[in-house]
Structure formats: C-alpha cells, structure tokens
Amino acid sequence: MKNIKRLLCQWESPELVAYKLIREWGEAGFIWLDGDGSDLGRWVTLGINPLEQFCSRELGNSKKYSNPFKILRELPQGHWTGWLSYEAASWTEPQNPWQKSSMATLWIASHDPILKFDLQKRELWLEGKDPKRISIMENFLNSTFHQKLSKPDSEAAKQAECKHSIPLESWDWRLTSQEYSERVDEIKEWIANGDIFQANLTTSCQAPLPESMRPIDVYSKLKKYSPAPFAGVIIGDQMAKGEAIISTSPERFLKALPSGEVETRPIKGTRPRDRDPEKDADWAAELICSPKDHAENVMIVDLLRNDLGRVCQPGSINVPHLLVLESYSQVHHLTSVVKGRLNTNKTWVDLLEACWPGGSVTGAPKLRACKRLYELEPTARGPYCGSILNINWDGVLDSNILIRSLMIKESSISAHAGCGIVADSDSQKEAEEMNWKLMPLLNALT
C-alpha cells in the first residue's frame, strides 16, 4: 500500500466509535463493514465524511454514462465502499426483463482516512493518504477516546435498543405463505418441463420506520441478535440520500486479489438453530444428509465455476471445499468455496460483470431463472441479492451477497428472504424455510 499512513490508536469497540463518528460528522456517507470475530469476519472498517461518491439510478436501457460497471471501471485509486443492486444485471443482460427499484442501482464512495479494527487482536488502526484529514481524525480520536468515556457515549447503543422497536404486526407482507407456496409449485412445474433446473424465489415485507430510528440504531439491534462475517451498514449521500443498507450477511460473493486470485463462497441449504443442543444437532445432521440441499448447492457451484470460467485462466478453477456445514447464531448453512485465477487482461470489474447477479440468489440456467423470477416476484429486489462492495487501498475487491439484509428508503424499511427451489422441493417446507431466514431479522427489531 504505497503512501498509506497507518497509526495504531487506543482500542475502543467499533460500535461506540461508530456512534461518535456520526455524532461528529452526521450519518450521510457513513460506512461500517462489520465482522463477527471469526477468521472471515476478523476485520471491521469504519468511514465517515466521504471524499468522492458516484451514483447510478438507471436500468440498462438508459444512457451509457449511468452504466454502474463503467463507473466502477473508472474509479480512481482509493478506498471505496458502497452497494450494487441486483438489477444492475440490466446492464450486463439487457435482453432480460428487470424491475425498476426505487433505490440506487449503484452508490459508492471513497473515504480517507478509514478506521480498521482487528477484532482478534483488539487493535484499532487509522489508515489514510491525506495528511490533513488524517490529522483531523487523529485529533478527534485523541480528544474523544483518551478521556474516560462519558455515560451518554458508552450507553448510546443500549439507549437506542430500548427506545426503538418495530412491532411484528406493523410489517406488510407482499406474499402470504400460501401465495409463496403456490409460486413454488409453479417453479416446480417449469423444472418438470425442463424450462429451468433451479430458481431462488424471494419475497419481502415492509414497515414504517420510526421517525427517530436511524440506520445505525437498526443495525445495533440486529448485530446483537445475528452477528455475521460479512455484515455492515452503508448510508447513502447526495443522489442516494435517505437510502441505507443494513446487512447481517454470512455470504461472501467475490474476493479478488491484485495477483489475480479469486474466491466465491456460495451458500445453499438452511436449517434453523435450536436452544436444545440435541435438537440443534438434529437440525444440522438433517441438513448435512439432505439430498435436496446437496443438489441445490452443487448446482450453484457448477454455475459459479462456469461464471468464473468466463474470465479466469483455463485449468485454474477449483473447489477446495464442498458442502461444508457452517453454523451461525440463528441458522445452519451448507457452504462451498470456488477459487480461480483471473486472465492477465481481466480485472475485478470484469469478474463482477461475468458473475452478476450472483448464482446463489438466482438459479440455473441463470438468465432463464431470472426471467421466470421476474414473472413471479411482486417487487424489484433492489440492493437485496446485490452486494456490498469494498475496494481497498491496494485494489483488493471483497463483496458479500446481500441476504439477511434490510433496506431503508426515507421513512420505510423493508426485509427480504428467499429459498432455492429444485425438483423435489416441498412447497410448504420452502415457505417455512423462508420464515426461518426472515423472522430473526424482524424479531430483532421488536
């Protein structure tokens, strides 16, 4: 990392620092890439008061200057963070129909400096290039954290948790369980007729956001209930002001190193956790032994191997981990890992274009599945099933799949969930699985 200054600072928890940053600079343009302390979720990044930002709100039939992938390709060097929506696929696959979301297709901003927290070593680092901005942040940290924490600061998150809630009855569901099951049956009929092999059917619900409840308040409640390695908060600014992403995603979409090494970690297969250790183990065993979930996962692994093959060197693609059980606070998952090496004339943007939208949230064949999902899903997905993107100082891309995530637009908050449907799916059980995924988010906010 050339010309990057790194300063070791006094440790403080990311949550308290986040509240202090917002109190000092306001929430617009704030980013919080969070983790759960595991090897995948070891590092946390905070940024405030962005230097530059870019936004696209259009679908692929609009003017070329709005192309989100063109914007990403032309980003200057720096530390960039933002979101890319599912419907950005309208730019890579314009022959398919796509719904128009009210949220930005792309919002991305650069921050200098940033704060990086090593959760395993309990170290806080200040990183940046601009000496003046680094000095301002260093002085802010010194004046704030080298003093005893005041009670209002140390209890900010607790107060937010007590003060705000969203009752379960205030959520307006787009599809009932019965309607969702009926759509599952439609997909199974298409599969039986050879039209598709798998599709990830999603639905959503929406509620009014309490006036004094900020995105960081929502996330503070959520992270206590459902920590995850690829979680975080992104709050838009300028053309995306009033929009925010709150995520507790356990899934990495794409990671790409400057050396050309790439990785994706698709999740397919879910069971709920149980407080009773014996029942919890039964759920995990059922998932591990499920032919349906195995088929669903392996099909997406094959799809992603094919996507990576469009931009990776021949013979470089491999699957070091297949059908591995990963257990989180609310659910068990089956996860696989696919790796490859980019062709020397390809970049992380080429990789993103080749793989967009993610295979684990669409189906197979991908484009046909997307078309069928367009016919069945009642609303645009927007950032849901898209990604939080992060490009660090030395050009490393890391991104998640925006599942287990909430979207805020002005005074409204929405939550989404979905299930992968294959030939032997049970429509009632798929509706139940959708609830396993969605209800922890809603319960956390009550």
Q: How far apart are CA 215 and CA 221, in angstroms?
A: 10
pLDDT-based confidence at residue 63 (cuts at 50, 70, 90): low
Length of the chain: 446
Q: What CATH number does the domain located at 5-444 have? A: 3.60.120.10
Pick the range with the lowest mean pLDDT from 60-64, 117-121, 156-160, 348-352.
Answer: 156-160
Beta strands 252-256 and 261-264 are: antiparallel
For range 173-190, the mean pLDDT: 96
pLDDT in tens, 214-253: 999 999 999 998 899 999 999 999 999 999 999 999 999 9
Active site residues: 251, 268
Q: How far apart are CA 211 and CA 215, in angstroms?
A: 11
The DSSP bridge partners found for residue 114 are 127
pLDDT in tens, 393-426: 999 999 999 999 999 999 999 999 999 999 999 9
- Cβ atoms within 10 Å, residue 223: 23
pLDDT-based confidence at residue 1 (cuts at 50, 70, 90): low
Distances (CA, A) of 245 to 49, 107, 146, 304: 17, 11, 32, 25
Q: How far apart are CA 72 and CA 80, in angstroms?
A: 10
Q: How far apart are CA 132 and CA 128, in angstroms?
A: 10
The vertex-50 CA angle with 47 and 54, nearest 5°, equals 120
Q: Where are the domains of the chain?
A: 5-444
Q: Tokens 């960081």, residue?
A: 216
Residue 64 confidence (pLDDT): 62
Pick the range with the lowest mean pLDDT from 134-138, 180-184, 240-244, 271-275.
Answer: 271-275
What stretch of H or E contains 387?
strand 387-391
Residue 228 confidence (pLDDT): 93
Terminal Cα-to-Cα distance of the chain (whole angstroms): 44
Residue 412 confidence (pLDDT): 97
Residue 408 confidence (pLDDT): 98
pLDDT in tens, 258-317: 999 999 999 998 899 999 999 999 999 999 999 989 998 999 999 999 999 999 999 999
Contacts with 86 (C-beta within 8 Å, 6 or more apart), sequence order: 357, 361, 380, 381, 382, 383, 384, 385, 386
Contacts with 104 (C-beta within 8 Å, 6 or more apart), sequence order: 55, 56, 57, 83, 85, 236, 239, 240, 243
Residue 437 confidence (pLDDT): 85
Residue 360 confidence (pLDDT): 92
Amino acid at 118: D
pTM tops 0.75, yes or no: yes
Residue 435 confidence (pLDDT): 87
Q: Where does 52-205 have alpha helices with state H?
A: 68-73, 89-92, 131-145, 151-154, 156-163, 177-192
Q: How far apart are CA 81 and CA 31, in angstroms?
A: 7
